[in-house]
Structure formats: structure tokens, C-alpha cells
Amino acid sequence: MSRKPVHLAVYDTYADWETGHATAYLARAGYEIRTAGPSREPVSSIGGLRVQPACALDEVRPSESSLLILPGADLWDTSDDLAPFARKAREFLDAGVPVAAICGATAGLAREGLLDDREHTSAVSFYLAATGYGGGERYVDADAVTDRGLITAGPTEPVAFAREIFRLLGVYEGEVLDAWYRLFHDSDAEAYAVLEKAQASG
């Protein structure tokens, strides 16, 4: 089955550890991962990884995508440089295409008003409250939250973040999804056998 690409936003200071589980296993499931930057000029992660974006943000169309992933970055909290990515997230959600945001990207979405009427989470509630957004009553103290096509998670939950992405896109379901999470989050060796069996039959 042909799938539309998953778009991974990349920008200077992006947190390279937050999306690796998700993109690696989406790629294994047959999704093309396309990086989208502010332009096509190279960017550098917090860890110093140099990435050449496959496309510029203004080239990304929701109709040509399965999902937009927004990692955290220092720039979310130190400037307005990444505001266009939050606006792109609004465009995706308005078109019915899902968005997944982790860490600082959740603050960017809060500033854009996208968390005002959706259940959501982040690092801590007061981090988002500092943005002045109107969705404080909808904050959920959980590892990751999905509400109407929008996934949010805090910086210490890249595995739960990936779990919600897999659930939303139907990459893994039921006991297989649970086993994947237990393996990578809890180092549960018994979960490996469940995944092996699923891969052998799938």
C-alpha cells in the first residue's frame, strides 16, 4: 500500500533525541520521512548533527502528507523564528491531517492557540502557562496525549510520543503496540517475542 510521506520539521537547535524512535519505526513500516526546514539550507541540531532539509516549509502541503512532526528546540522559547511551523500545524489540523508536537513545540502550538480546545500535555503545566495561552484547564498530566489529530508529549517521553504516533497512523495496534512500548520504555525482554511473532506473521 502506498503511503503519503511523514514530514519531520528540522530547524536549528532541534532536539535530535525526541523523534528518533518515531521516525525509525515509521520508516520500517514503509513511510518515507521527509525533512522540512525553514528553507532548504542546512540546519544543526542541539547535538550538532547537520541536516540538509529535503524541502522548505512553504513547500509542504497537508494533502501530500500523512503527518507533521514538530520536535522541541531552544528556538521555540528564545525567538519567534519557529512561529511559521506552528502556523503550518494549524494548516494541517484544519485540513484533517495529524500533527505530533513534543517538548518546546508544544509551547509553539500553545502560542498559536491550537491547545486552547484540545486535551494536551507538555513538560509541565506551568511551562505552557507561561505562554499566556487559554487551554490550561485542558492540560493532562500524562506521558503523551492525543486529541482530535494532535499528539503532544514532554521532552522525557520520546517513546510514548512514538507510541501515540503509531497508534494514530495504525502502524501498530493492540498487544503489538503495547509490546513495542514495553520493550523500548521498560526494557521488557518478553515484549520482544510478541514483536517478533507479529513481524513474522505480518
Q: Which residue out of 86, 99, 103, 115 is catalytically annotated?
A: 103
The pLDDT tens digits of the residues spanning 182-197 come to: 999 999 999 999 999 9
Distance CA 92, CA 57 (A): 12
- Res 1 pLDDT > 80: no
Whole-prediction pTM value?
A: 0.97
Distance CA 25, CA 176 (A): 13
- Res 128 pLDDT > 60: yes
CB count within 10 Å of CB 185 equals 17
Going across the sheet that includes 99-102, the strands are 55-56, 33-37, 6-9, 67-70, 99-102, 150-153, 144-147
Query: Which amino acid appears at position 105 of this protein?
Result: A
Query: Which amino acid appears at position 8 of this protein?
Result: L
103 given a catalytic annotation: yes
Q: Do 140 and 119 form a contact (C-beta atoms < 8 A)? A: yes
Query: Which amino acid appears at position 145 of this protein?
Result: V
